[in-house]
Chains A and B, each alone.
Chain A
Amino acid sequence: MEVAVGKASENSKTAIAWYRCAVVSAIVAGLFAIVVLTLIVRNYVPGETVNTQQEEEMEALKIEFQARPDDEQLLGRIRELDLKFRQERLRRLDFSRLGSYLLLGSVAVLLIGLKYAVAFKKKLPAPQFHPDRRQEQVREATWARWAVTGGFVMLIAAGLYLAGRPRIELPKPEMAAASYPSTEEIKKNWPYFRGPGGAGVSAYTNISDNWNGKTDQGILWKSKVRLEGFNSPIVWGDRVFLSGADPNEREVYCFDALSGELLWTGGVKHTPQKGDEPLEAEMLRDTSFAAPTLATDGRRVYAIFATGDIACFDFNGREIWSRNLGIPENAYGYASSLAMYRNLLLIQYDQAGAEDNKSKMIALHAFSGQTAWETKRPLPNSWTSPIVAGHQIITVGDPWVIAYNPANGTELWRAKCMGGEVAPSPIYAGGYVFAIEPYAKLVAIRPDGKGDVTKTHIDWVGEDYIPDICSPVSNGELIFLLTTEGMLTCYNVTEEKDANVPESTEEDKGKLLAPATKTIVWEKDLETYFRASPSIVGDRLYLMSEKGVMFIIKIGAEYQELAKCELGEKSYASPAFADGRIYIRGLENLYCIGTDSTKSP
């Protein structure tokens, strides 16, 4: 730089002119850079490529528009905004490309200007005089040592801070809690329609057989349920869930099992789908808008309504997800209850006619509500609920009983043995899947087949006093059927040898035989009407009549009535059984029946 300085003294005027030139260009470039930078930042902050704020605004408008498709003003606004947002996006992209080049260029000019300016003003090196270099160097080293020590202390402090942050201890893999309940957990609760496996069999025997709703005797609590619904209560731990709906509202209720207090109410919104025919309230007279029973996995609770709206809530009432599957076309209203297999929520979505090709079996990921798989069903609308037996989903429709693999929805086997408007749900007991064709027959199918098992796996049929609504119940040895008109019948489950029929030879078994027709063990006319399905508690049958009278009957080779308990309110829903308690949904109230109020459920 000595050269430059030398020149400056020789040619100071030119040098000063150059210096000024450098400074001025640096200032101009700097100001320009600041302007461009401000513009870029302004352009950048409100939206990157994807402006979520704009998108949300647009989405909200679109949903609003779907609710009010005739609102011309709204439509105009949507179109205007759409155009605006898209133009803005392109403009922003163009600008940020141009702006970054401009900025880069101006910064380069700024730097060159400043470099020159600095070069003109360069100071000459001035060697310093060090009076006591010894002390200075020693001091420098000492300070540096302390600074490094300080750095070490800071590191340790940062480490301690990090180590002290809340940590999450993962469970040991071998004892990791599954994200779905174990079979034992399910058995202890009543998480689906008709309890574990949809079988209607309680794991407890300490159930009351003596109460009276009129005098409140034996009734632990009674709580009003705001909206109507024919679905049954489900129970998990100290929570009882059910749902209610009318044409405009859909609600999920959570009651405290101990006190009967309504803990929360979860509203489920209806999102109409394209092409949906709105439901007529009159059509749903027999099923209500909330016929399907809820399901829970002990972590969350799931509810589906006749409108095809399905929602998931956590146990504190927060909605986790909800979606609409499209309003099912169903002659009397959609009524299939939810079932679960591990983390999958199973929905038997039978609708319209068989030729419409609209029925399907749907499995949703319970955590997200996203579809795990979907399988078309060649069936018209039905009112049965699917059950999970071992690793099979059993479904009943007209005319097929179909079993699916819950993992991927592939069909395992099917049997053509149903007909009419099927409503009773299947059960699995004593090694058989039992399905009921209303008014026609009870069918016992061995579930170990593959493909079409109509001719190979139906072991026997029963043809007397076949119900049209109530599902059967069985303790593995005897199976009980209950018709709406109150006819209770008992069949033997096992294929006992009939003395009248000659013993089949090995050869016969290889042939395709017509299934044997079973005769009844006993029957009894209870002379009242039933809608709720029967249940088994220990060695007793619990039958809830439409009028609200619980028939308690001893299971045995012949009919023996033990008790009759009045609820004092009509009931269409199947009761739920927990430890020492029964939860019964009347038309308006939810009852908890038990012997000991201090006992925790």
Chain B
Amino acid sequence: MAEDNKTINGSAINRRHFLRDGFWGACMVSLGAVAGLLGRKYKKKDTVWQIDPYTCVACGNCATYCVLEESAVKCVKVFAICGYCDFCSAYYEPGAVALDTAAENQLCPTGAIKREFIEDPYYEYTIDEKLCIGCGKCVKGCAVFGNGALFLQVRHDRCLNCNECSIAAACPSGAFKRVPADKPYLLKETVHT
């Protein structure tokens, strides 16, 4: 009786082993298939997140949605586009009372833009990145009335390159995209004559 039991168990175990091996093989094959599929598509280029400055609407989400407390997005300026205006719509409140550096006239909530006299009537505006929070207020100001020399960019010395970028998920205009890691910035080009 006991012997019978053993043989029955034995055959059951053998059957189970056989099935298990079969499934094991199937799992291996499926993994191989996935690997093959990915390998066929694999492009050598790694990607990073970046903002297309021509699509960006400077909504302000970059400042609040980044997983970092201080956003990885900061304002970038191409000086060759800048008009060096005395009344800079990126620096001043729309209804600024005086063209000076006083707090009540400045648009930037953190005072991150520096205004410097160059020669009559030109002023140079530089961004202090340590203070910039990427809110895009100046970007909007410059885009509406100015040349659009200011725009937001993901700074890759700060960005964690999350698998799903929280700002991208909150971007209203679809300006966030993955760009090749060897060209990690999308800079505006000058168009003036």
Contact = CB atoms under 8 A, between A and B. Distances in A.
Interface of B: 60, 63-64, 69-71, 87, 92-97, 102-104, 109-111, 133, 135, 144
B111 A86 contact: yes
A83 B94 contact: no
Contacts of A519: none
B109 A58 contact: yes
Interface in A53-101: 55, 58, 61-63, 65-66, 69, 75, 78-79, 82-83, 85-86, 89, 93, 96-97
A272 interface: yes
Contacts of A271: 94-95
A69 B93 CA distance: 14
B95 A93 contact: no
Interface of A: 48-50, 55, 58, 61-63, 65-66, 69, 75, 78-79, 82-83, 85-86, 89, 93, 96-97, 271-275, 370-371
B97 A50 contact: no
Contact of A66 (B60, B63, B69, B93): B93
Contacts of B133: 49-50
B110 A86 contact: yes
Contacts of B109: 50, 55, 58, 85
Nearest to A74: B104
Contact of A371 (B71, B97, B144): B144
Nearest to B66: A49
Contacts of B102: 79
A97 B133 CA distance: 16
A50 B64 contact: yes
B104 A78 contact: yes
List the 9 shortest-distance A-B pairs measured between CB atoms, nearest first: A82-B103, A66-B95, A50-B63, A78-B104, A69-B97, A79-B103, A50-B64, A49-B133, A65-B104
Contacts of B144: 370-371
A274 B103 contact: no
A93 B102 CA distance: 24
A98 to B, nearest CB: 12
Given A82-B103, A83-B103, A89-B110, A49 B94 contact: no
Nearest to A324: B94
Contacts of A63: 95
A78 B103 CA distance: 7
23 contacts: A48-B69, A49-B63, A50-B60, A50-B64, A58-B109, A61-B104, A66-B93, A66-B95, A66-B96, A78-B103, A79-B102, A79-B103, A79-B104, A82-B104, A82-B111, A85-B109, A89-B110, A93-B69, A271-B94, A272-B95, A273-B95, A274-B95, A275-B87
Nearest to B64: A50
Contacts of A65: 97, 104
A78 to B, nearest CB: 5
Contacts of A55: 109
Nearest to B97: A69
B80 to A, nearest CB: 21
A273 B94 contact: yes
A103 to B, nearest CB: 14
B42 to A, nearest CB: 36
B162 to A, nearest CB: 17
Nearest to A66: B95
A168 B131 CA distance: 44
Nearest to B71: A49
A275 B102 CA distance: 18
A66 B103 contact: no
A53 to B, nearest CB: 12
The listed residue with most A CB atoms (<10 A of its CB), out of B102, B103, B110, B144, is B103
Nearest to A55: B109
A488 to B, nearest CB: 46
A8 to B, nearest CB: 45
A66 B104 CA distance: 9
Contacts of B111: 82, 86
B52 to A, nearest CB: 18
Contacts of A371: 144
Contacts of A97: 69
Given A62-B95, A85-B109, A274-B94, 7 more contacts: A61-B104, A86-B110, A86-B111, A96-B69, A271-B94, A271-B95, A274-B87
Contacts of A86: 110-111
Contacts of B93: 62, 66
B112 to A, nearest CB: 10
Contacts of B69: 48-49, 93, 96-97
Contacts of B71: 49
A44 B101 CA distance: 31
The listed residue with most B CB atoms (<10 A of its CB), out of A49, A58, A65, A86, is A49
Nearest to A78: B104
A96 B93 CA distance: 31
A273 B102 CA distance: 18
Contacts of B97: 65-66, 69, 274
A77 to B, nearest CB: 10
Contacts of A96: 69
Contacts of B103: 78-79, 82-83
Contacts of B104: 61-62, 65, 75, 78-79, 82
A58 B64 CA distance: 18
Given A50-B133, A66-B95, A78-B104, A93 B60 contact: no
A39 to B, nearest CB: 15
Nearest to A50: B63
A479 to B, nearest CB: 41
A444 B76 CA distance: 51
A335 to B, nearest CB: 25
A126 B94 CA distance: 77
The listed residue with most A CB atoms (<10 A of its CB), out of B69, B102, B135, is B69
Contacts of B87: 274-275
A69 B64 CA distance: 32
A404 B71 CA distance: 42
Nearest to A368: B57
Contacts of A66: 93, 95-97
A74 B63 CA distance: 28
A48 B94 contact: no
Contacts of B60: 50
B101 to A, nearest CB: 11
A85 B111 CA distance: 11
Contacts of A85: 109
